[in-house]
């Protein structure tokens, strides 16, 4: 067993605190990773505070993990000691269903095993995430971090990056396409960067006028204040695709009106309260679509990392010490970060 230092939630209401536990020893197909950086995702906060359902405590969050391989099982063929690798939102799946066979493990029909909040098949214990100094993962669920990517700034690519890259690829964002992005947070700022790198024209929808300058810096060619009816009317029937990154419930009708015929609005934000959805005629008379998308499978995640390396894309981050995670959570709720906190795991236990 591997002694592991971490920051964990011990209840839905207590602040995260230092905790020590044991990881399993690597099996034949496992790699042991010394974690260097872990991004802080909104879903970490919602999960440990019990807002997305019951979980087992203590719980170590974190699924934007980058680190170095320090040991491997005898049957591991993809990685060697010293390789820089990443682990995203899932660490296992059934591996036999149609989705898994298609490399779309995030849609596993038996349910994938989350990097935290799941159950380890090997031990029957709760999975624990990346706010820790070590993790052991089957090589199938590990990706290679390309040379040239700053590892700290690349950590959020394992969730925020792939969550936005996957729908952009699925709905063929590229030259000649106009892509809308709703919200300029951890997901939204990655969506703007990626869509622009793919050659699309990018329109940011925001409720905050002060985000316009930053949106253009990141690659947006237009910024629309979504609460301004005249602004929304200006872009009516002009967009091919919209990625909606906002988790809070909101009216989807005005956004649907900005889509061209055959346009698609894709929901990415996790939300347990229903959105206001326009009546059927909005869809029927212009063949518009309302869809959703969830992270990406392992092949697509590697493709995304390679794309980011080719185009020099990483997240805009604020690097923090592990002891500051509770302050980061409170700031994150106020949108007081541009645009992703990343924990320097070397500070755990310091």
pLDDT in tens, 154-173: 999 999 999 999 999 999 99
Q: Examine domains 2-159+296-347 and 162-292 and report if their fold is the same.
A: no
Asked if residue 50 has pLDDT above 90, the reply is no
Sign, CA torsion 208/213/216/221: positive
Local structure of 70: helix, strand or coil: strand
What is the overall mean pLDDT for the chain?
95
Enumerate residues 6+ apart whose C-beta is below 8 A from 327. Answer: none
192-203: average pLDDT: 98
What fold does the segment set 2-159+296-347 form as a domain?
Quinone Oxidoreductase; Chain A, domain 1 (3.90.180)
Burial of 335 (C-beta count, 10 Å sphere; 0-12/13-18/19+): middle
Strand, coil or helix: 105: helix
Residues recorded for the chain? 350
Two tokens, residue 287: 């063949």
Tokens of 73: 């099982």
Average pLDDT over residues 34-55: 92
Task: Kindly give, in sequence order, each residue whose CB lies less than 8 Å from that of residue 227, ignoring residues fewer than 6 positions away.
Answer: 207
Contacts by 55-59 with C-beta closer than 8 Å and gap 24+? 55/117, 55/126, 56/117, 56/126, 57/8, 57/9, 57/10, 57/11, 57/12, 58/8, 58/9, 58/10, 58/19, 58/21, 59/8, 59/9, 59/116, 59/117, 59/126, 59/128
3-class SS of residue 32: strand
What percentage of the chain's residues is helix, strand, coil (to nearest 5)? Answer: 30, 30, 40
Q: Are 315 and 186 in contact (CB under 8 A)?
A: yes
What is the pLDDT at residue 274?
79
Question: Quick one: DSSP state of residue 222?
Answer: E
162-292: CATH topology: Rossmann fold (3.40.50)
- In this predicted structure, what is the pLDDT of residue 276? 85
Residues near 192 by beta carbon (within 8 Å), at least 6 away in sequence: 181, 184, 202, 204, 215, 218, 219, 220
Q: What is the pLDDT of residues 213-239, one digit of tens each?
A: 999 999 999 999 999 999 999 999 999
Domain boundaries, the chain: 2-159+296-347, 162-292
User: Mean pLDDT over residues 231-258, rounded?
Assistant: 95
Residue 54: pLDDT band (50, 70, 90) is confident
Greater confidence (33 vs 281) lies with 33
- pLDDT tens string 85-94: 999 999 999 9
């Amino acid at each position: 067993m591997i002694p592991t230092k971490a920051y964990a939630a011990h209840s839905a209401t207590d602040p995260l605190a230092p905790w020590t536990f044991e990881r399993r020893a690597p099996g034949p197909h496992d790699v042991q990773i010394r974690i260097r950086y872990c991004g802080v995702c909104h879903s970490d906060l919602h999960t440990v505070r019990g807002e997305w359902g019951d979980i087992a405590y203590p719980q170590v969050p974190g699924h934007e993990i980058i680190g170095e391989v320090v040991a491997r099982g005898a049957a591991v063929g993809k990685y060697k000691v010293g390789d820089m690798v990443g682990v995203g939102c899932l660490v296992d799946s059934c591996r036999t269903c149609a989705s898994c066979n298609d490399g779309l493990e995030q849609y596993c029909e038996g349910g994938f095993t989350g990097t935290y909040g799941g159950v380890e098949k090997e031990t029957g214990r709760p999975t624990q995430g990346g706010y820790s100094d070590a993790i052991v993962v089957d090589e199938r669920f590990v990706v290679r971090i390309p040379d040239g990517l700053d590892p700290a700034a690349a950590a959020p690519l394992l969730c925020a990056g792939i969550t936005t890259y996957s729908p952009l690829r699925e709905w063929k964002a590229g030259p000649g396409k106009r892509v809308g992005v709703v919200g300029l947070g951890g997901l939204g700022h990655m969506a703007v960067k990626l869509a622009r790198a793919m050659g699309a024209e990018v329109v940011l929808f925001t409720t905050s006028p002060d985000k316009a300058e930053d949106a253009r810096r990141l690659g947006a060619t237009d910024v629309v204040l979504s609460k301004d009816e005249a602004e929304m009317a200006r872009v009516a029937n002009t967009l091919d695709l919209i990625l909606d990154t906002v988790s809070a419930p909101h009216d989807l009708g005005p956004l649907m009106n900005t889509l061209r015929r055959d346009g698609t609005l894709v929901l990415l934000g996790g939300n347990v309260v229903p959105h206001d959805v326009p009546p059927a005629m909005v869809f029927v008379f212009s063949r518009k679509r309302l869809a959703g998308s969830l992270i990406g499978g392992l092949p697509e995640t590697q493709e995304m990392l390679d794309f980011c390396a080719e185009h020099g894309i990483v997240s805009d981050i604020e690097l923090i010490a592990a002891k500051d995670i509770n302050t980061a959570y409170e700031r994150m709720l106020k949108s007081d970060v541009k645009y992703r906190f990343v924990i320097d795991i070397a500070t755990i236990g310091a």
